[in-house]
Chain A
């Protein structure tokens, strides 16, 4: 995969994290300017601060920008913290099937308290071959819609049996609901997930709970850019590191939920030109470990939880440990204890070097001469013996996590990114070399700025009729064409993912094939 994104004109990459908003201006594959600002309650304000500063530094006028790419963890953070979520209604079109496992069965209690437990099951659905097994329960749907209105809920997730094969059944059901609730936001499961009713329904429900937040966040971003005179198209990063429009993000916030780690891993790859490495993003509160394989983040093999809810999204395989630049340091006698609590975004007030009264890992790094921030006089009293002991503990903790990510004992290269990289001062066990690229502290924003566009195919092919090779080649071609149609430059498109799922236990040659092709955004 060619890492160089070569669009003409400067482009802006922004990463809106829970603590920091990072921004970079890039021209071709050069980072021209980079800034880090605190994230604000109104996301737009923090973005404006960061963008204003980075454009000043770069000497670029807002109207000169060719593209704006935004990565944000707002939506996933909101879901995980149960903040700004709206109440939702789950409508499942499946009876007489699936009554044994109603929607939201395994959801955490604290989440149900926020989004409610409004579940409706109605008649309808399809066999695997697309034949409907029961008529759509129109009257039940109308009754459900009236009840949903009485409950004051306006976001609904509709899931029907075998919706990936028969999306029209969900569309019909949505039409009935909209006839009673014309202003409802409806998420159809077929729009957010593949086969596997529960995981797909969960994804649709998570998405439904984020709809009003996504409207607010996206319009706040748009307004902020308009105020400072940015006229370039705005894109958001999605889970696989590729871009989506603001309209799409408003309707499908869930597809951005793991863009943060993806951007950080891809940004690290870009900055070092490396293809295979462990990427450690050391922030204020946590260190996130990702595995870079052939230029892309390694993805999880199995279904996984988002905020305690199982989905079947493919996400980067990230290990998080409680260790960052704001992690509190305490002593039992001479033995240091790290965290797990952190001063987080209050580092600038509470750490010793910034005039605060709490000893953090950053203070230790300053005392050891590894970082030149704040006032070194304020940590001069810490005995070198204790500094050494804390540094030992930090390195041991990182080494343990590196070991967990690895699959054999062979030493691997490590790329350190994120503001907390100053904590590392020594060689790490099991690591062949440590890279600290320039702009490591804004790797997320770089990852957003080099984002790609993708094309996907998810179809059933008849291997018996076509032969496996022909069928797969056909699927690859279709994915490539879809990437081109999405705006990719022709010479950059590459197939990065091929998954085959045969319809087993049935006497057919039908195989579900999923192919994803990606390429960089073509010059416009």
Chain B
């Protein structure tokens, strides 16, 4: 157990959460400020390992559902979150012992921490994907046997909706439709589970991972060393089946954004400056899904793709990409549980319309390039 006791820790976590967001999940700034507000009022977030909880503990996921562009306007209401927690405990008929994030990448890494701090409930060091994904059912919780339902939704006006569906995929559609009819930003309790399920189904230690990634980048900047090299050294741990590769370095020469069926589709083209044609491309479907170097796939979902500002190593979400930016692209292997065959059936390349088999970044880019 540890507490998040300084603003700097919170800022490091937020930076790390953008990195793990793989382009999606939204800017965690709103969540970061909300968590800092709790700390300023003397309520630090408490983080526990899943293994520290009793097997029969009661755990739920708290998440915001909606559009990132709406979140940055509507922000977050303490009133709403406390009412949601109250309504959930009533509905499930149990006191909540711990919260867990469903999605560590982006904004939803922060809301459980802030509500946990506000309500005095610990948050588990882990989540359901170790990154960001666009759908509610794209979690290890769902793949390995814990259903997203029954779930409780609430908006800022106090409207409450209970959701019970036959599959988690249908839950996604239903929740999205409810969200659209309530102004495109709502909050919900999802994935009611036991302490034992949390131990077995979560991608572990991901809150600590956001903190460490954010801290690495900050410390490298402060000591004037190369933050991208430092970060790669930290991330690349073959013994733990985690592999990181620097994929490309260049200037964004085109970003195409469009909305297809309510989702952000796009493509970013990057040029190294050695010739006129852009050599590198990243396809975006809310998250960065697939990176290609001269047409050859170098990283694909569920492995992570991070686009960093080339100098500061600040991670950039897909919405932040714009013409002319100098960027470095990193490929990072997903947690081993995310790469199993059962997982790939729910969030492998084919689930995003990419007609390719999954290969890990360490197979696609066997050699680590030395940084100049």
Question: Residue-by-residue, is A130-157 near B (CB-CB < 8 Å gives 1, otherwise 0)?
Answer: 0001000000000000000000000000
CB distance from A306 to the nearest CB of B (A): 16
A198-B29, A407-B310 known, 11 other contacts, Cβ within 8 Å:
A96-B79, A97-B75, A99-B78, A127-B184, A310-B29, A404-B224, A463-B258, A504-B67, A504-B262, A505-B66, A510-B259
Within 8 A of B (CB), among A198-233: 198
A56 in contact (CB, < 8 A): no
Question: Residue-by-residue, is B233-263 near A (CB-CB < 8 Å gives 1, otherwise 0)?
Answer: 0000000000000000101000111110111
> Contacts A128-B67, A302-B314, A503-B67 hold; do A98 and B259 have CB atoms under 8 A apart?
no
Chain B residues with Cβ under 8 A from A161's Cβ?
73-74
Bound-state Cα–Cα, A512 to B258, Å: 11
A196 in contact (CB, < 8 A): yes
A465 in contact (CB, < 8 A): no
Question: Residue-by-residue, is A94-135 near B (CB-CB < 8 Å gives 1, otherwise 0)?
Answer: 101111111001100000000000000000000110000100
The segment out of A11-19, A62-70, A494-502 that lies at the interface is: A494-502
Chain B residues with Cβ under 8 A from A365's Cβ?
none
Bound-state Cα–Cα, A308 to B325, Å: 24
What are 29 contact pairs spanning A and B, CB under 8 A?
Answer: A97-B75, A97-B77, A98-B75, A100-B76, A101-B34, A106-B36, A127-B183, A128-B70, A128-B183, A128-B184, A133-B156, A133-B183, A161-B73, A195-B73, A198-B75, A298-B324, A301-B314, A302-B314, A302-B316, A404-B311, A405-B311, A409-B372, A463-B259, A464-B259, A503-B67, A503-B69, A504-B319, A505-B68, A507-B261
Within 8 A of B (CB), among A400-452: 400, 404-405, 407-410
Closest to B82 in A: A100
Within 8 A of B (CB), among A318-375: none
Bound-state Cα–Cα, A454 to B104, Å: 42
Chain A residues with Cβ under 8 A from B73's Cβ?
128, 161-162, 195-197
- How many B residues, CB 8 Å from partner? 58
Chain A residues with Cβ under 8 A from B68's Cβ?
504-505
B84 in contact (CB, < 8 A): no
Main secondary structure on A side of the interface with B: loop
B157 contacts which of A99, A133, A505 (Cβ < 8 Å)? Answer: A133
Closest to A92 in B: B75
B81 in contact (CB, < 8 A): yes
> Contacts A106-B33, A407-B311 hold; do A98 and B69 have CB atoms under 8 A apart?
no
B322 in contact (CB, < 8 A): yes
Chain A residues with Cβ under 8 A from B286's Cβ?
504-505
B326 in contact (CB, < 8 A): yes
Chain A residues with Cβ under 8 A from B277's Cβ?
none
B320 in contact (CB, < 8 A): yes
B262:A505 contact, CB within 8 angstroms: yes
A509 contacts which of B79, B259, B310 (Cβ < 8 Å)? Answer: B259
Chain A residues with Cβ under 8 A from B29's Cβ?
198, 303, 310
CB distance from A223 to the nearest CB of B (A): 42
Q: Which of A105, A507, A512 has the most B CB atoms < 10 Å from its CB?
A: A507
B323 in contact (CB, < 8 A): yes
Main secondary structure on B side of the interface with A: mixed
> Contacts A405-B311, A504-B263 hold; do A100 and B257 have CB atoms under 8 A apart?
no
A100:B81 contact, CB within 8 angstroms: yes
Q: Which of B224, B314, B324 has the most A CB atoms < 10 Å from its CB?
A: B324
Closest to B30 in A: A101
Chain B residues with Cβ under 8 A from A55's Cβ?
none
CB distance from A140 to the nearest CB of B (A): 16
Chain B residues with Cβ under 8 A from A198's Cβ?
29-30, 33, 72, 75
For the complex of A and B, list the 3 residue pairs with the smallest distance between their C-beta atoms, beginning with the closest: A505-B67, A507-B262, A504-B264
Closest to A99 in B: B77
CB distance from A516 to the nearest CB of B (A): 12
Chain B residues with Cβ under 8 A from A504's Cβ?
67-69, 259, 262-264, 286, 319
A506:B67 contact, CB within 8 angstroms: yes
Bound-state Cα–Cα, A508 to B260, Å: 8
**Chain A residues near B (Cβ < 8 Å):** 94, 96-102, 105-106, 127-128, 133, 161-162, 195-198, 293, 298, 301-303, 310, 400, 404-405, 407-410, 463-464, 468, 498-512
Chain A residues with Cβ under 8 A from B67's Cβ?
128, 503-506
B309 in contact (CB, < 8 A): yes
CB distance from A429 to the nearest CB of B (A): 14
B316:A197 contact, CB within 8 angstroms: no
> Contacts A100-B34, A100-B76, A196-B73 hold; do A502 and B273 have CB atoms under 8 A apart?
no
CB distance from B130 to the nearest CB of A (A): 21
Chain B residues with Cβ under 8 A from A94's Cβ?
74-75
B72 contacts which of A195, A400, A502, A503 (Cβ < 8 Å)? Answer: A195
B161 in contact (CB, < 8 A): no
Chain B residues with Cβ under 8 A from A100's Cβ?
34, 37, 75-78, 81, 114
A301:B72 contact, CB within 8 angstroms: no
Bound-state Cα–Cα, A509 to B224, Å: 44
Bound-state Cα–Cα, A295 to B34, Å: 41
Bound-state Cα–Cα, A162 to B184, Å: 13
Bound-state Cα–Cα, A196 to B69, Å: 8
Within 8 A of A (CB), among B170-197: 176, 180, 183-184
Chain B residues with Cβ under 8 A from A508's Cβ?
259, 262
Bound-state Cα–Cα, A499 to B33, Å: 26
Closest to A317 in B: B311
CB distance from A496 to the nearest CB of B (A): 10
Bound-state Cα–Cα, A410 to B326, Å: 14
Bound-state Cα–Cα, A508 to B258, Å: 10
Bound-state Cα–Cα, A502 to B321, Å: 12
Bound-state Cα–Cα, A208 to B345, Å: 55
> Contacts A105-B37, A161-B74, A504-B286 hold; do A408 and B69 have CB atoms under 8 A apart?
no
B75:A301 contact, CB within 8 angstroms: no
> Contacts A405-B311, A505-B67, A506-B184 hold; do A96 and B157 have CB atoms under 8 A apart?
yes
A502:B259 contact, CB within 8 angstroms: yes
Closest to B158 in A: A96
Chain A residues with Cβ under 8 A from B70's Cβ?
128, 505
Question: Residue-by-residue, is B55-71 near A (CB-CB < 8 Å gives 1, otherwise 0)?
Answer: 00000000000111110
